[in-house]
Amino acid sequence: MKKLIITFLSAAVLMFAANSVSAAAHGGNKATPHSVIHVVTVSWKEDASEKQIQAALDGVVTLAAEYDGISRVWIKTLKAQGDKSHAFVMEFKNAKALKDYAGSDAQKKWYKVYLPARGGSTTFDITN
């Protein structure tokens, strides 16, 4: 499991590093981003329906529209290993936006859909 998480995080870091290098090479912003990448791997409850799972993932997209501190999200798992079947990512504008998100009305609203279906999850918050 640790190997899977390290592999996943390594791939994410390489993806963002390559994107930053590409932007710098093409005259983009050379500043180091201060956004926070919130990576969550999820396993669902055995009795969670496909409809519940999709509603929970769609709720991540809704969060980005309802909570100003989230700038981008990713919800489509292309490959999963280990005991987690899905992953999603939220990009927060900065560490304060992530901190303010915890316990926010937007999070509470989403949790009403997400928590009944979630079996377990692992979270990593990553920044520069």
Give the pTM: 0.74
Which CATH fold topology does 34-126 show?
Answer: Alpha-Beta Plaits (3.30.70)
pLDDT, residue 80, reads 87
- Mean pLDDT score across all residues of the chain: 85
Predicted confidence band at 39 (pLDDT cuts at 50, 70, 90)? Answer: very high
In contact, 40 and 83? CB cutoff 8 Å: no
At 25, is the pLDDT very low, low, confident or very high (cuts 50, 70, 90)? very low
Let me know: does 74 contact 25? Beta carbons within 8 Å: no
Reply yes or no on whether the pLDDT at 7 is more than 70: no
pLDDT in tens, 97-117: 999 999 999 999 999 999 999
Is the pLDDT at 51 greater than 50? The verdict is: yes
Percent of the chain residues past pLDDT 90, beyond the cut: 69
What phi and psi, each to the nearest 5 degrees, are found at residue 39? -100, 125
For 87, which DSSP code? Answer: E
Rounded average pLDDT over 25-42? 79
> Which residues in 26-35 are b (16+ Cβ under 10 Å) and which e?
eeeeeeebeb
Q: Are 93 and 35 in contact (CB under 8 A)?
A: yes
